[in-house]
Amino acid sequence: MSDLTRMTAAQLAGLIAGGETSAVEVARAHLDRIAAVDDRVHAFLHVDAEGALEAARAVDARRAAGEELGPLAGVPVGVKDVVTTRGVPTTAGSKILEGWRPPYDATIVERLRAAGTVMLGKTNMDEFAMGSSTEYSAYGPTNNPWDLGRIPGGSGGGSAAALAAYEAPLTIGTDTGGSIRQPGAVTGTVGAKPTYGGTSRYGLIAFSSSLDTPGPCARTVEDAALLHAVIAGHDPRDSTSIPAPVPPVVEAARLGATGDLTGVKLGLVTQFAGEGAEPGVMAAFRDAVDALTKLGAEIVEVSCPNFEYALPAYYLIAPSECSSNLARFDGVRFGLRVGDDGAKSLEEVMSITRDAGFGPEVKRRIMLGTYALSSGYYDAYYGQAQKVRTLITRDFTAAFEQVDALISPTTPFVAFPFGARTSDPYQMYLADLYTIPTNLYGGPAISVPCGLSEGLPVGLQVMAPTMADDRMYRVASALESAVGTLTPPAL
Amino acid sequence: MSTTALPTYDDVVERYEPVIGLETHVELGTNTKMFCACPTGFGAEPNTQVCPVCLGLPGSLPVANRAAIEATIRIGLALNCSIAEWCRFARKNYFYPDMPKNFQTSQYDEPLCFDGWLDVEVDGEMVRIGIERVHLEEDTGKTLHVGGATGRIHGATESLVDYNRAGIPLVEIVTKPIPGTGAKAPVVARAYVTELRDVIRSLGVSDVRMEQGSLRCDVNTSLNLPGEDWGTRTETKNVNSLRSVERAVRSEILRQAAVLDSGGRIVQETRHFHEDTGDTTSGRSKETATDYRYFPEPDLVPIAPDPAWVAELKSALPELPRVHRTRLQERWGLTDLDMQSVVNAGAVELIEETVAAGATPAGARKWWLGELARRANETGVELAAVGATPAHVAELQRLVDEGKLNDKLARTVLEGVVAGEGTPSEIMAARGLEVVSDTGALTAAVDEAIAANPAIADKVRDGKVAAAGALVGAVMKTTRGQADAKTVRELILARLGVQG
């Protein structure tokens, strides 16, 4: 049998269901691959080999007993370390949660288990999902399999790199400002941010509650859709979860794979016309637009005038919410506690713990958010940012009256070398320039590989109206059928 | 420094005008917590009624309790409030270990209910108390500071936190400032909290027990000279009984007056009321006000109560206590003054329940307002907490009506009830307090008394019936008061062949 780690999730599920291989063999192959390459890639923070094999054996037993298996039964999956997994360490990439084993599974993890997927372990990320390179992981960065000296994107760099390194066929990411899509783009993989509320946040360690969205990462659009269908759907434990059926994403991905986009109208955002983007990225994007035209799509330009305020608005809203969400990490009930020598006051111990446990980017955002919410500044910062958010939503609504979906490069630049953007936070923040508006609006968006620039992957983003997640899968799948998937150099 | 006599209360309220305001917290009696499905029962082992949500574990999310929202709307309606058509929860951010998330999910500028009033009767006059807002929030856990002398955090060697209470739905009811009540300010404050408690109890949404903390009250007080702007206010916490509400206002009026009289200024601060001394002491200063950085709770969707549902809740409100009391007064046949004394004593429901348990209104009222009220006053507890229940009192009265106890014996039995010795019947039996109604035993005592007092017996036989009193006294003495005087008298007269 050819290398199991090179197969898509759909292929693996088919082989397991057909008895051509077992879930245990598939799990072993991936665990072996992790053992072989992860010291160079560092996509995983924790590998749960025992748990994975146990889950795989259970799938094999169910198959042997003649039970009907779900579409992803036996397929390995990596889970971003910001999602709680019962009994399995969950750190959110932070020292402050080192060693914490949650007593409960996130809803999406419950759904992954119920579907018979096999969890390999927890993937690396920027601390608390704040960053675009994994350089802010407290446990060291993940290296991009395309070039180990470059960043894999962030915050979900571990989830993306695990795919590109063939350590896992599927991974879970979370997207607050682009943390699924930008890593997908720079690693040549597929990353989808569902509609906010389409996937449950219960068990997702909150960074910015009104923006955080868990979603699927895969090497193909169809695989992403299959994973999307497993984790999505209403969850009564998340008040912001949408009580509506999951859009038909898998069907849409298969429809798109036929390569026909006749009658589909796509919008190019005037404000994303390439200012600040690398020429190679824009060239690959333009080629992809030509490919989409050849597939029958009609391309028009759409102006979204408020998108230029998206980045500043995001950097008020997300830090504000984070300053409150991260208050609970105080050393009292769980995780790290430093300085509790019996001589210090509770307040001192909390302060010392937080100082020791949080990294520089997290501290920066807590301070930004604390300031923005302060009495006397609230209206000027948080209040104003919320108004911008409303205007951006209006831009999207108006755009979707003209077109079925919007397209753009996913991120202005290809994977950059480590250290290139850490000295100036703003340079790092620009990585999310094209992805952030969608988070503020709440709609779905997907990044799909569209070509190379200087030998490094470039991603194209498809943005769709809220709860029209199927639309983006169709377009992304069609593009994939035209340009193919990208294969990184051997490690 | 010369010592000047402290001003008297009458003197102070003559010169200064107090303005009061009350913030009352009511723990709702819902089966489950505000944002999770944990039970809310009082008195469970520490940290047994907790889950990832109310412990604020990373990743957990709140889901609002519909029953708590309904109860809050009903409270708002009973307090004549407007109900918001659309409002949000807000996060109140501050660090404290009894708050698992280090923010409290509360409401800020969008309360669920606002702009209402509550009419309160004080000395036969109605005072309308404006209600600023009624909002819904979650309670905090409880911190126990061990090792210090005071039980407060300072000096403690260890602090233990119980999160059972964390997340229990809490309704905060805030009055508008209440000026113009003058010397009556403390009584008005007490009457308001009493009336509020009765209203909430009548809704059946909380057991509103101050001693268990399901009703908690913060009292704001300020003084100003007539014609001048309102003064700086202080907020007195730890006011744990109706009596304390009154005492706290009075004490704070006196303290502020003394400060102002000596040329000082009032510091805006939190003060703690001390039940034992009746004084308040300074807590945390609010001059460097904590910035709570309120913002709308992004984890919860807005509350938008359907107007039809609100209308339905409004039409289903129970009779309010004031109306109910008027009806009781008629049924019990009390004058306004008598009814007022019942209300003032906090005895309305106790008497109502005692009557329901079989006593006559007059009998019930006699015990609650007499012996038991005196006792409660002496020991400084609420009447309801005096140790006797309506069932006890009804039983006691029945024993009296059946002739098994006379008034004096009944008082002795009641003492036993209050002391926790058991039910009136049990105490009567255990202490052998029953009226001696066994005619055999009484006849012997009567014969003995006649034999010991032949001269008096002769007088009675000669028709001087009044002289029988001395014989009755003698019999009562030998039976140690356990005989029914009327029966004894009848027996004596019969024995001596005289018609009563």
Minimal CA separation from B17 to chain A, in Å: 32
Asked if B299 lies within 8 A of A237 by C-beta distance, the reply is no
B362 and B219 within one domain: no
pLDDT band at B498 (very low <50, low <70, confident <90, very high): confident
Q: What's the rounded mean pLDDT across residues B195-219?
A: 92
* Whether residue B500 has pLDDT greater than 70: no
Share of chain A above pLDDT 70, in %: 99
Q: Does B156 touch chain A (CB under 8 A)?
A: no
Domain assignment present for B428: no
B246 and B359 within one domain: no
Cα–Cα distance, B403 to A30 (Å, whole number):
91
Q: Does B301 touch chain A (CB under 8 A)?
A: yes
Q: How many domains does chain B have?
A: 3
DSSP string, A300-345: EEE--GGGGGHHHHHHHHHHHHHHHHGGG-SSSSSS-----SSSS-
Sorted by sequence, the CB contacts under 8 Å of residue B66 that are 6+ apart come out as: none
* Whether residue B285 has pLDDT greater than 80: no
pLDDT of residue A158: 98
Cα–Cα distance, A101 to A118 (Å, whole number):
19
Domain assignment present for B429: no
Query: Which residues in chain B (16-55) have CB-CB distances under 8 A to chain A?
Result: 52, 55
Q: Does B88 touch chain A (CB under 8 A)?
A: no
Domain assignment present for B167: yes
Average pLDDT, chain A: 97
Picking from A83, A239, A346, the nearest residue to B62 by CB comes out as: A239
Domain assignment present for A20: yes
pLDDT band at B284 (very low <50, low <70, confident <90, very high): low
Minimal CA separation from A129 to chain B, in Å: 13
Characterize the bridge pairing of strands A265-269 and A298-302: parallel
* Whether residue B131 has pLDDT greater than 90: yes
If you measure CA to CA, which chain B residue comes closest to A203? B59
B245 and B203 within one domain: yes
- End-to-end Cα distance, chain B: 77
B28 and B156 within one domain: yes
Q: CA angle at residue B490 from B484 to B496, to 5 degrees?
A: 135
Q: What's the rounded mean pLDDT across residues B241-254?
A: 95
If you measure CA to CA, which chain A residue comes closest to B160? A332
pLDDT band at B24 (very low <50, low <70, confident <90, very high): very high
Domain assignment present for B377: yes
Domain assignment present for A388: no
Cα–Cα distance, A25 to A56 (Å, whole number):
8
Q: What is the pLDDT of residues A307-361, one digit of tens each?
A: 999 999 999 999 999 999 999 999 999 999 999 988 888 899 999 999 999 999 9
B197 and B127 within one domain: yes
Q: What is the pLDDT of residues A125-172, one digit of tens each?
A: 999 999 999 999 999 999 999 999 999 999 999 999 999 999 999 999
CATH code at A83? 3.90.1300.10
Task: Name chain B contacts of A240, Cβ cutoff 8 Å.
Answer: 298-301
A280, A454 Cβ separation under 8 angstroms: yes
pLDDT band at B42 (very low <50, low <70, confident <90, very high): confident
B137 and B32 within one domain: yes
B487, B442 Cβ separation under 8 angstroms: yes
Q: Does A240 touch chain B (CB under 8 A)?
A: yes
pLDDT of residue B1: 42
- pLDDT greater at residue B1 or residue B136: B136
Asked if B95 lies within 8 A of A347 by C-beta distance, the reply is yes
B360 and B282 within one domain: no
Single out the residue in B310, B332, B358 at which a domain terminates: B310
- pLDDT greater at residue B484 or residue A416: A416
Domain assignment present for B261: yes
pLDDT of residue B150: 63
Domain assignment present for A88: yes
Could you list the active site residues of A?
Answer: 80, 155, 179
Minimal CA separation from B300 to chain A, in Å: 6
Task: Name chain A contacts of B59, Cβ cutoff 8 Å.
Answer: 83-84, 90, 102, 104, 106, 202-206
- Alpha helices (H) along B85-233: 185-203
B360 and B278 within one domain: no
pLDDT band at B441 (very low <50, low <70, confident <90, very high): confident
* Whether residue B75 has pLDDT greater than 90: yes
pLDDT band at B289 (very low <50, low <70, confident <90, very high): low
Task: Name chain B contacts of A238, Cβ cutoff 8 Å.
Answer: 61, 63
Q: Does B153 touch chain A (CB under 8 A)?
A: yes
pLDDT band at B2 (very low <50, low <70, confident <90, very high): very low
Cα–Cα distance, B258 to B277 (Å, whole number):
17
Q: How many domains does chain A have?
A: 1
Single out the residue in B286, B310, B334 at which a domain terminates: B310
Query: Which range is least confidently modeled, A296-305, B45-54, B286-295, B458-467?
Result: B286-295
B303 and B373 within one domain: no
Q: Does B299 touch chain A (CB under 8 A)?
A: yes
Q: What is the pLDDT of residues A447-456, one digit of tens each?
A: 999 999 999 9
Q: What is the pLDDT of residues A195-227, one digit of tens each?
A: 999 999 999 999 999 999 999 999 999 999 999
Domain assignment present for A193: yes
Q: What's the rounded mean pLDDT across residues B33-46?
A: 93
pLDDT of residue B287: 52
Q: Does B304 touch chain A (CB under 8 A)?
A: no
* Whether residue B477 has pLDDT greater than 90: no
**Which value does ipTM take for this structure?**
0.96
Q: What's the rounded mean pLDDT across residues B426-443?
A: 78
- Report how many Cβ contacts below 8 Å link chain A to chain B: 103
* Whether residue A244 has pLDDT greater than 60: yes
Domain assignment present for A272: no
Domain assignment present for A214: yes
- End-to-end Cα distance, chain A: 21
* Whether residue A436 has pLDDT greater than 50: yes
Question: Residue B486: which domain range?
Answer: 439-495
* Whether residue B286 has pLDDT greater than 80: no
Single out the residue in B310, B331, B353 at which a domain terminates: B310
Q: What's the rounded mean pLDDT across residues B172-189?
A: 97
pLDDT band at B146 (very low <50, low <70, confident <90, very high): confident
Domain assignment present for A221: yes
Domain assignment present for B500: no
Helix (H, G, I), strand (E, B) or coil at B171: strand
Helices B321-332, B348-356: inter-axial angle, 10-degree rounding:
50
Asked if A205 lies within 8 A of B91 by C-beta distance, the reply is no
Q: What is the pLDDT of residues B454-464, one digit of tens each?
A: 888 888 888 88
pLDDT of residue A454: 94
pLDDT band at A391 (very low <50, low <70, confident <90, very high): very high
B239 and B115 within one domain: yes
B160 and B127 within one domain: yes
Domain assignment present for A440: no
CATH code at B452? 1.10.10
pLDDT of residue B94: 94
Q: Does A236 touch chain B (CB under 8 A)?
A: yes
Strands of B62-112 (E only): list them.
82-83, 90-93, 103-106
Q: What's the rounded mean pLDDT across residues A110-137?
A: 98
Helices B185-203, B66-78: inter-axial angle, 10-degree rounding:
130
Domain assignment present for B77: yes
Question: Residue A182: which domain range?
Answer: 4-258
Q: What's the rounded mean pLDDT across residues A389-396?
A: 98
Domain assignment present for B434: no
